[in-house]
Structure 1
Amino acid sequence: MRWLLCLTASLYLCLHSHVDAESHLSRSVIEKAVNEAKATVDSAYEYSRRQSIERVRRNAANPSDVLRLLKQPVGLTRLAVRAADYMDNAVKLIKSSLEKRQKRSINATDLLSEEDLQLIADLTGCSARSRPPSCKTIQNLDTFRTANSICNNRKNSRRGSSNTPFTRWLPAEYQDEISLPKGWDPELKINKKILPLVREVSNRILSTKNSDVESDPLYTHLVTIFGQWTDHDLTFTPHSPVIRSFSNGIDCDKSCERTEPCFPIEIPKEDPRFSKHPEECIPFFRSTAACGSGNTGHIFGASTVRQQMNTLTAFIDVGQVYGSDHAKARSLRNLTTDEGLLRVNTEFRDDGRELLPFTNMGANMCATRTRITNDVSVQEVPCFLAGDERSNENIGLTSLHTLLMREHNRLARALAKLNPHWDGERIYQEARKIMGAYFQVITFRDYLLHIVGPDFIAKQLSTYPGYDEDVDPSISNVFATAAYRFAHLMVQPFMFRLNETYEEHSEFPSPLLHKAFFTPWRILFEGGLDPILRGLVGRKAKLNTQDHMMHDELRERLFEFSKELALDLASLNMQRGRDHGLPGYNQWRKFCGLSQPQNHKQLRKVLKNRKLARSMLDLYRTPKNIDVWMGGVAEPFVPGGRVGPLFACLIATQFQRIRQGDRLWWENEGVFTEAQRESLKQTSLSRIICDNTGITKVPDKPFQYMSVKSFTECKNIPAFDLSPWQEDIE
């Protein structure tokens, strides 16, 4: 009775009262809300898990099932996501209860004290996600990275570590200024204009037939897949694990209603898909909110707007091989011996060479062979297991994962011969450390020049400036969600497979991209790694041009395994940017010190294309509303690069911070010896291919396209010199 009187008389005063009886009563109400929230979330999680697994087992998975399973939070990430959902729903339940009693709209976090919010955080498990861990008990902190990069920065121990929010270089822009995406209410104007449907933008600006694809005259398809490989070392944004709304139980796959976490992509009436699926939308699930962001962020010293989580470390540490948390890292190791090796497949080999182990997940997304070949007699196999959950996404990416697993094991065996007194843990950590340095060297020396061009390299990415503990290396939301998705427009519609003379493979021809998704069986039963790797270094990347941006394999047939509505990668990218509250194109141009076009004439000058500028403004009505991904990929290239000035700025800035904010960067004094650094400078992706495959002839600069006649025999490519790692024993 006292509680009801408090609500009607002075709710705010009662909730903030320091009287013991009222504090106790407040705790009981909070505990009840938390328990109810946990039951709701757990039920939704379980329903979604059963539905997805059942559909996959029946070979009835639709494209959104595949994407959702691909982007599922797992392990420690899933615990963090669940805690965030508990807290968010508990606060909403309290808000709803108070609104019913007050019969008016209120903000629950204005009525709850910081002590109350902290109690909710403690009860839901969110508090554990905000406490900085101690670095005092971690061994070898100056020698080897932790799996999750905790304590890379000793002053800010979580900085750059896995399962932390993306950083923001500009404030988020949400429809309600807290969490709802722009476009959630399609009738609400942004900058006095209605936002266009992302699918309409995709149809009118990005659409390209497979037959109209232009190939890059300078760069190989390895540039494209290496971009994806690097991205999977730096960014992974988990989707909500649920497929039905927390508030009303609607199944997101079966409705066009916007209800958390469903943010479906509407199909325009003039779209050919509309006539076939007039009452359907392309399902889209919001990225999970980071613990303590949005309404409750201030109690964590965090932003009061919704933030998204990066489940990976911010460092170039080859986490896609080793995993980004200790449990995952341990599960990938072969602990049956003391040799420091990674696990390999025990059922299959590739002409005697190692293959990735199989997963034991309940839902096998990779049981695609029967559907693709229309042969019910063929053997299905599980997905491969690697440090990143997306390793099976396409066979080019799977091949790089397999190649680098082999290289780790090659290094481990070689180090064991050099230093027979080392135990398996030392061998594993030293090989992992070398692998991380490999890709720091290759990314900065060989790769980024082709993307951002020599001017940005000279300005931001040339001479190593040294480690600065005040530089935050954390991945920015705009980098993960927009800028580093530039390579989506460099993907060829085929996954090329070539024979020993670098010609189309007669027995195993190049499959269309949509028939190379989640197909580890193509590696097991169709010629192994070598034809695919030859295809990456022996064929050209797609060229992103303003007339031919994204082809049908990605726009019309993404994850198409059945007659279900396929996904559209361009639409997903733009919807994801809105989901994450990314500011518009002009805001990011301003951030980079570039002009901000206000009309057709100015936009035409930036894009150097009258027709494209007109198409953009016909859709967006104002340059301010252009989705940053769309504006970025539409810009003409910087000199010597493959992105425009906006994305060159954002990409260069991110890599600049990754390098300078990494205490264990390969060039930082004391990380490697001088002799080891000299050896690492000579590392070669071509040599790694030679050492771990049956390929005997490769380009010595595998990112640059050249005639097969100019390729180099493997025997003429210097081997990596491991002698500086030999340890003297006195």
Structure 2
Amino acid sequence: MARWLENYAKSTILSSIKLWNNLDTHSLQVCIFCSVGIDAPRRFGVLGEELPSARVISNELHKADGQSPRNDKLTMMVMQWGQFIDHEFVSTPVMKDTMGANIDCCDEGNENRTECFPIRIPDDDPFYNRTCMSMVRSAPVLDHDCEPGFREQMNQVTSYIDASAIYGSTEDQSISLRAFEGGLLKIYEDNETNSEQLPPDTNDKYTIEAPKDRCALAGDKRVNVVPALGWSHTCFMREHNRIAQELVGINADWDDETIFQQTRRINGQQNYREHICVKYDIIFHYCSIFGDGVRNLLFKDKNGISLDLPSLNIQRGRDHGIPGYNHWRKHCNLGQANMSYDGSFILPDHTEEQRLKIQNIYSHVDDIDLFPGAMTESLLPDSSVGPIFACLLGKQLKKLREGDRYWHETQDPIIKFTNDQLTELRKVSFARVLCDNFDVSQVQPDVFHVPGIGNERVDCDQIQGINLEKWVSCDFLPDGRPHFNSYCRKKRNRE
């Protein structure tokens, strides 16, 4: 059994690192649209003029003047799940100063540092009274032959949707989260709320406002960025421990390692299957307009300095050399943006109001950045995104599924689930997970949509869950894997 457990542990934690993950290599994005040579960010448009400030674009296209035009039938769970899934397979580190210190690109003399790509704030900005927003460039990485080339960025988490946000992207991270007893994850017993919370992170770099405050430890370090992320991580920590405790009762002969690895497989797949495969069209729901919290006050520090999320998204795209909006229109076989003889923009999937706003910002349609160009498109029917994001999200999620050799529907005889187990995994919904892990008595079956006709709130006992009896094993295969088959269950029933 030990040989299989060792191999399985390495595969579940490190498999994507060695072959597909970007931890030791680089991302697939090549900086083909860098402005100068192979390293500089995208700074200039097709006419040679400097691209408009990302903050100017944000002010014109992404400010919240009223109610969002996006889908009002979706719950906040869509946003939160989208953020959690994003953290599952993307984390791009930025460059650091000597000894790992952070760089402020707005400090005197820093704007022209190679690590810096600050955002220019206009003098007439409606919120900020400064002219610079700091942004440090993403850390570059050498190519497969350890040689310099076109600037590319690294990914410091596994590049799969594999529950690495829960269990970590490295073996050391996974070890730090485990209790090594009964297959459980570590917890913090909160006596004030009489609940199980994430274990505390003892990293002394955090700023704690009150002595009793604590930061949480999870598989992804961004767990502490906003309270809702902490909630998401807490949810799946509790779900892991719930499953592990039930498996202990079903298979008393399993040791800690077997319980942990089998629980990890179940916890990682039972939820991601529903919300990635079936509902990919709404998972990455965004709003085209942003309130002050993210557009003016993002990550406000003790000195009152804050950031603007849309501006950062635009500037980061330029840093990475991401081609402009029109490039992706062609990539997705959509009608390209064009210009009339008098210079007017022709944007096939934008309203006249948005067309004029974009035309007043950019000098040429080929200069339009992907983020604002796609975010301001008219929405597709019954969707929260326009044509470009529908295309790119669909392509990306398809690749995430087809490129993952541990995808739960794999037919690989060594790692596949049995047909009975797959049937059980397909029953699970996020609603059931909420019922099992929080003080919830009623919930709508589809938690991503507001309650209504056909999605009325029901008692939790009416929402089906997973039957872990399908994971009964009466023996082990020669390589140490638990042997799951119907004979085992029948044998257990007779006993």
Instruction: Please say whether Structure 1 and Structure 2 have the same fold, judged by a TM-score greater than 0.5.
Output: yes
| 1:324 is aligned to 2:169 | yes
Give per-residue Cα distances to partners, 1:500-529, cap 9 Å, x unaligned. Answer: xxxxxxxxxxxxxxxxxxxxxxxxxxxxxx
Partner of 1:85: none
Q: Which runs of 4+ in 1 moved over 4 A?
A: 137-144, 211-215, 243-246, 600-605
**What letter is aligned with 1:221?**
M
Q: Which of 368, 375, 391 lines up with 1:633 in the alignment?
A: 375
Partner of 1:147: 13
Partner of 1:568: 308
Q: Which of 417, 420, 424 lines up with 1:679 in the alignment?
A: 424
What is the 5 A alignment of 1:303-452? Answer: 304-335=149-180, 337=181, 339-346=182-189, 348-349=190-191, 351-365=193-207, 367-368=208-209, 379-450=211-282
Give per-residue Cα distances to partners, 1:208-238, cap 9 Å, x unaligned. Answer: 15x6456732111100110001101111111
Partner of 2:482: none
Q: What secondary structure sits across from 2:224 in the alignment?
A: coil
Relative distance call for 1:403 and 1:428 in structure 2 (3 A) is: same
**What letter is aligned with 1:268?**
P
**What letter is aligned with 2:282?**
H
What is the 5 A alignment of 1:532-543? Answer: none
Q: Which of 309, 314, 321 lines up with 1:581 in the alignment?
A: 321
**What letter is aligned with 2:315?**
Q
**What letter is aligned with 1:323?**
G
What is the 5 A alignment of 1:472-511? Answer: 487=286, 489=287
Partner of 2:111: 257
| 1:288 is aligned to 2:139 | yes
Q: For residues 198 and 359 of structure 1, what CA distance do their matches in structure 2 show?
A: 35
Partner of 1:667: 409
Q: For residues 104 and 161 of structure 2, what CA distance do their matches in structure 1 show?
A: 38
Q: What secondary structure sits across from 1:327 in the alignment?
A: helix
Identity of aligned residues (%): 30
Give per-residue Cα distances to partners, 1:380-410, cap 9 Å, x unaligned. Answer: 4121110001111111121111010000000
Partner of 1:550: 290
Give per-residue Cα distances to partners, 1:271-306, cap 9 Å, x unaligned. Answer: 1356x32xx41111111112x14xxx7x44x78201
Give per-residue Cα distances to partners, 1:42-94, cap 9 Å, x unaligned. Answer: xxxxxxxxxxxxxxxxxxxxxxxxxxxxxxxxxxxxxxxxxxxxxxxxxxxxx
Moved more, 384-393 or 263-272: 263-272
Q: Which of 181, 190, 201 lines up with 2:57 in the alignment?
A: 201
Q: What secondary structure sits across from 1:632 in the alignment?
A: helix
Q: For residues 189 and 265 of structure 1, what CA distance do their matches in structure 2 show?
A: 16
**What letter is aligned with 1:364?**
Y
Q: What secondary structure sits across from 2:71 in the alignment?
A: strand
8 Å contact from structure 1 (residues 162, 325) kept in 2: no
8 Å contact from structure 2 (residues 169, 219) kept in 1: yes
Partner of 1:177: 37
Partner of 1:268: 122
Q: What secondary structure sits across from 1:728 in the alignment?
A: strand
The two structures have a TM-score, normalised by structure 2, of: 0.87
Gaps of 5+ in 1: 1-136, 152-156, 369-377, 452-483, 490-543
**What letter is aligned with 2:35?**
Q
Relative distance call for 1:350 and 1:676 in structure 2 (3 A) is: farther
Q: For residues 408 and 606 of structure 1, what CA distance do their matches in structure 2 show?
A: 47
Q: For residues 379 and 589 of structure 1, what CA distance do their matches in structure 2 show?
A: 52
Q: Which of 457, 463, 487 lines up with 1:717 in the alignment?
A: 463
Q: Which has the larger radius of gyration?
A: 1
Partner of 2:442: 697
More helix by share: 1
**What letter is aligned with 1:612?**
Q
Q: CA deviation at 1:143?
A: 8.8
8 Å contact from structure 2 (residues 61, 372) kept in 1: no
Relative distance call for 1:389 and 1:550 in structure 2 (3 A) is: same
The two structures have a TM-score, normalised by structure 1, of: 0.60
**What letter is aligned with 1:649?**
C
8 Å contact from structure 2 (residues 96, 103) kept in 1: no
Relative distance call for 1:287 and 1:447 in structure 2 (3 A) is: same
Give per-residue Cα distances to partners, 1:416-449, cap 9 Å, x unaligned. Answer: 1100100000000000001121233122344314
Relative distance call for 1:250 and 1:681 in structure 2 (3 A) is: closer
Q: Which of 622, 627, 635 lines up with 2:364 in the alignment?
A: 622
Q: Which of 203, 206, 219 lines up with 2:74 in the alignment?
A: 219
**What letter is aligned with 1:254?**
D
Partner of 1:239: 94
Q: What secondary structure sits across from 1:219 in the alignment?
A: coil
Relative distance call for 1:142 and 1:381 in structure 2 (3 A) is: closer
Relative distance call for 1:596 and 1:303 in structure 2 (3 A) is: farther
8 Å contact from structure 1 (residues 584, 626) kept in 2: yes
C-alpha RMSD of the superposition: 2.8
